[in-house]
Chain A
Amino acid sequence: MFDIIRIVVDFAAFYAIYLMLSVSLELEYGETGISNFGKAMFFAAGAFTAGALVIRLAGPIAGLIISESELKLRSVYYSTLVSRYFAAHPGVALAILFLMLILGALFGAVLGYLASYPAIRLREDYLGITLIAASELVRVIGRNYDPLIGGTLGTAVPDPFAWLMGRQREIVVSTFMMIIALTSFIVTASLSRSPFGRLLRAVRDSETAAEALGKDVVKVRMKSLMIGSAIAGAAGVLYAFYMGFVHADDFNPIKTFIVWVMVIIGGSGNIWGAAIGTFVYLLIDRGIALVKHQFTLPFDINYVSYAVLGTLLVAVLMFRPEGLLPEKPLSTIPRKILKMRVKAQK
């Protein structure tokens, strides 16, 4: 009845994308205390990069003449031609893929830098509202400014793995995405248990004391937002390639909210919490998506899924605010060594 491999492979791809997003929010909110309610905007930065550039960049390489005036209406056509070229030239395809990942991360970081301007001046609630508004502003522009990603029509994105076929392709794509996601996870985890991570937590717990101890709070928050946004931007690039299509309305505040749900259910302040929270969320979400065709209901079951998640989140906030995996002290030097040091003195 179900194609198990397909389900697993699809799950892995979504897990990779959302893991990157939740890890980035973990760094920004869980560790630094920045209420980033504009995650969808940084995610969009990466997706828009791929959506706007791949056809324009790879088209001429493939010998196509891309007409700007026709791009909006014929993006699917151009995209198919570019994919066909990619099928014959894996090297070019991969080079474009990596270039997009780098550019997406870069644009994400630039947006993060801009967002740090309000992030260091406003109280958490005002900052949250500002970032939601900014995120919606980016979405409205993406939706209406046709040259970017085709406006209301959206744009197709060529397939950089077109040189593989069928099942093999699906597995390679998901594996590639998981490798990128795990790399972000490992980098963030090692930042988190370093003196830098300690500094982030210090800024989160008391800005006043951090200032008094010579920490440039403004810079610390800026760095955290830039690193987090670069990861979110790269996730956006992966998302655009995986879906093969980019549409501005996909990057609405619900996307941001989903990432918050993951971080809070998992346990903010603990990077493993982000990993678990993402898994739990996707399990529920994909699970409902899988079984929904089994029922005929007088309403769309997706709304039940949202209502359940909202309720679940409120329940977690009330009864287990620390999440599934609460924050633990992390030490830069293994705790065993520290404990031995204390004993030796006695």
Chain B
Amino acid sequence: MKNPTLRGIDLVKRFGGVVALDGVNIEVPPRSVVMLIGPNGSGKTTLINVVSGYYLPDRGMVFLNGREITRLEPHERFGLGLVRTFQIPEPFKKLTVLENILLAARSHPGESAFKVIFRRSWRQYEEEIIEKAFRILELLNIDHIWDTRAYQLSGGQLKLLEIGRALMSDPMLLLMDEPVAGVNPVLAHNIMEHIVRLRDNLGISFLIVEHRLDIVLDYVDKVYAMHRGKIIAEGGPKRVIENPLVAEAYLGG
């Protein structure tokens, strides 16, 4: 049997007395878009942080394509193809939009302090990724602000920049924390369509945390619902949404 792209087993994370994750099991199959829903404080962002290496879990294990990655540093996980975005955008403030995107390119020879001396060794790669970066900017409709510095962007533009960096990084699995919150509906649909295209054409898997079910639900293959640090329902979008436990969690808070 083929390994799932991502598998989290029995993940537990406590903060002081608060149990943010309470034995979570999760699986993202290859070539799929999986969505994670749940009311505020249910542990979604904590789960993303554990999977991406920003928190060490108190218990449990994380596997990427069958390889255990529970204790790897975030940048090491990136090297294996696991990339994330942030709920509150984390731009490189003083750098331009284009530079922000370029930084997501994989294994740039020009980023080595030694190789960078020999301009010829990285110039061509740099031109290639600039071309690629512009294509991503065009897709997200922010190519006109390529030369603007990130601290001058609006909230929505920052969100798109965050997604742009993720797309630039050729991931195998992309964890996205609220990618379309605060983005206008037309663009939000464009982004989701592009995500589906990436899944179909490049075989990328997605784990998406999002509150805007109205927009996202149509595009996803599988949904996990969380409440108080536990998975309370999983399966096809329709099934999970109609699960009475889920409705109760949202209403009861």
* Physical contact A–B (CB less than 8 Å): yes
Q: Could you tell me which residues of chain A, from 208 to 244, have a CB within 8 Å of some CB in chain B?
A: 208-217, 223, 227
Q: Among the listed A199, A206, A227, A327, which residue makes an inter-chain contact with B111, where contact means beta carbons less than 8 Å apart? A: A199
Q: How far is the CB of A303 from chain B (nearest CB, A)?
A: 37
Q: Kindly state the separation between the CA atoms of A217 and B165 in the bound complex, as whole angstroms.
A: 18
| Complex contacts, A202 vs chain B, CB 8 Å | 92, 95, 103
Q: In the complex, A196→B122 CA distance in Å?
A: 11
Q: Mark B81-115, 1 if CB is under 8 A from A, else 0.
A: 00111100011111110110011101010111100
B24 contacts across to A, CB distance below 8 A: none
Which of B126-134, B211-219, B244-252 lies at the binding interface?
B126-134
Say whether B224 faces chain A, with CB atoms less than 8 Å apart: no
- The stretch from A69-77, A89-97, A309-317, A337-345 touching chain B is A337-345
Query: Given A212-B74, A214-B79, A342-B134, A201 and B92 touching (CB < 8 A)?
Result: yes
Across the interface, which residues of B come within 8 angstroms of A327, CB to CB?
94
Residue of B nearest to A226 (CB): B113
B residues less than 8 Å from A201 (CB atoms):
92, 94-95, 99
Contact B134 A195 (CB under 8 A): no
Contact with A along B130-156 (1 / 0, CB 8 A): 100010001000011011011000000
Known interface pairs A195-B116, A209-B90; A345-B134 also in contact (CB < 8 Å): yes
Is B14 an interface residue, CB under 8 A from the partner? no
Q: CB distance A329 to B99 under 8 Å? A: yes
Considering the complex, give the chain A residue whose CB is closest to the CB of B122: A195
Known: A196-B116, A345-B138. A206 touches B75 (CB 8 A): no
Residues of the A chain whose Cβ atoms lie less than 8 Å from the Cβ of B106: 214
Which of chain B's residues have a CB closer than 8 A to the CB of A7?
Answer: none
Flag whether A333 is at the interface (Cβ < 8 A).
yes
Chain B residue at smallest Cβ distance from A201: B95
Q: Which chain B residues numbered 190 to 215 have a C-beta less than 8 Å away from chain A?
A: none
B58 → chain A closest CB, angstroms: 21
Query: Is the CB–CB distance between B126 and A333 below 8 Å?
Result: yes
Is A269 engaged at the interface, CB distance under 8 Å to the other chain? yes
Q: Chain B residues near A216 (CB, 8 Å)?
A: 73, 75
Specify which chain B residues have a CB less than 8 angstroms from the CB of A214 in the assembled complex: 75, 78-79, 83, 106, 169
Which residues of B are found within 8 Å of A217, using beta-carbon distances? Answer: 75
Q: Within 8 Å of chain A (Cβ to Cβ): is B157?
A: no
A191, B95: Cβ atoms closer than 8 Å: no
Question: In the complex, which residue of chain B has the Cβ closest to the Cβ of A205?
Answer: B92
Hey, which chain B residues are within 8 Å of A183, CB to CB?
none
Question: Across the two chains, which residue of chain A brings its CB closest to B53?
Answer: A211
| A208 CA to B52 CA, complexed, in Å | 11
Any chain B CB within 8 A of the CB of A194?
yes
**CB of A332 within 8 Å of the partner chain:** yes
A198 at the interface (CB under 8 A from B): yes
Chain B residue contacts of A205, Cβ below 8 A: 91-95, 150
A211 to B84, CA, bound (A): 10
Bound Cα distance from A106 to B187, whole angstroms: 54
**Do B134 and A341 touch across chains, with their CB atoms under 8 A apart?**
yes
Q: Which residues of A contact B98 (CB under 8 A)?
A: 331, 338
Contact A269 B92 (CB under 8 A): no
Q: Bound state CA distance, A335 and B98, in angstroms?
A: 11
Are A212 and B84 in touch, CB under 8 angstroms? yes
A212 touches B83 (CB 8 A): yes
Q: Are B126 and A212 in contact (CB under 8 A)?
A: no
Scan residues 54-93 of chain B and give those whose CB is less than 8 A from a CB of chain A: 54, 73-75, 78-79, 83-86, 90-93
**Do A342 and B103 touch across chains, with their CB atoms under 8 A apart?**
no
| A345 contact set on B, CB distance < 8 A | 134, 138, 143
Minimum Cβ distance to chain B for residue A286 (Å): 33
Residues of B within 8 A of A208 (CB): 54, 86, 90
| Chain B, Cβ-Cβ closest to A227 | B113
Q: Are A332 and B83 in contact (CB under 8 A)?
A: no
- Could you say which of A201, A204, A223, A332 has the most chain B C-beta atoms within 10 Å of its C-beta? A332
Chain B contacts for A204, CB-based, 8 A? 94
**Chain A residue with the shortest CB-CB distance to B108:** A195
B145 to chain A, nearest CB (A): 10
Chain B 152-188 near chain A by CB (<8 Å), digits 1 or 0? 0000000000000100010000000000000000000
Q: How far is it, in angstroms, between the C-alpha of A338 and the C-alpha of B102 when the chains are bound?
A: 13
How far apart are the CA atoms of A206 and B146 in the complex, in Å?
19
How close is B98's CB to chain A, nearest CB, in angstroms? Answer: 7
Task: Identify the interface centre among B90, B103, B108, B110: most chain A CB within 10 Å of its CB.
Answer: B103
Residue of chain B at shortest CB distance from A215: B75
| Contact of B113 with A191 in the complex, beta carbons under 8 Å | yes
A28 to chain B, nearest CB (A): 13
Using Cβ atoms and an 8 Å threshold, which residues of chain A touch B112?
A: 196
Given contacts A195-B108, A332-B126, A338-B130, list 8 more A-B pairs with CB under 8 A. A198-B111, A206-B92, A211-B73, A212-B74, A212-B90, A216-B73, A227-B113, A329-B95
Q: What would 28 A/B residue contacts be, using CB atoms closer than 8 Å?
A: A194-B110, A194-B122, A196-B116, A198-B95, A198-B102, A199-B103, A201-B92, A201-B95, A205-B94, A205-B95, A209-B92, A209-B165, A210-B103, A211-B74, A212-B74, A212-B83, A212-B90, A213-B78, A213-B103, A214-B106, A214-B169, A215-B103, A329-B95, A329-B149, A333-B126, A338-B146, A342-B134, A345-B138
User: Residues of B at under 8 Å CB distance from A?
Assistant: 52, 54, 73-75, 78-79, 83-86, 90-96, 98-99, 102-104, 106, 108, 110-113, 116, 119, 122, 126-127, 130, 134, 138, 143-144, 146-147, 149-150, 165, 169
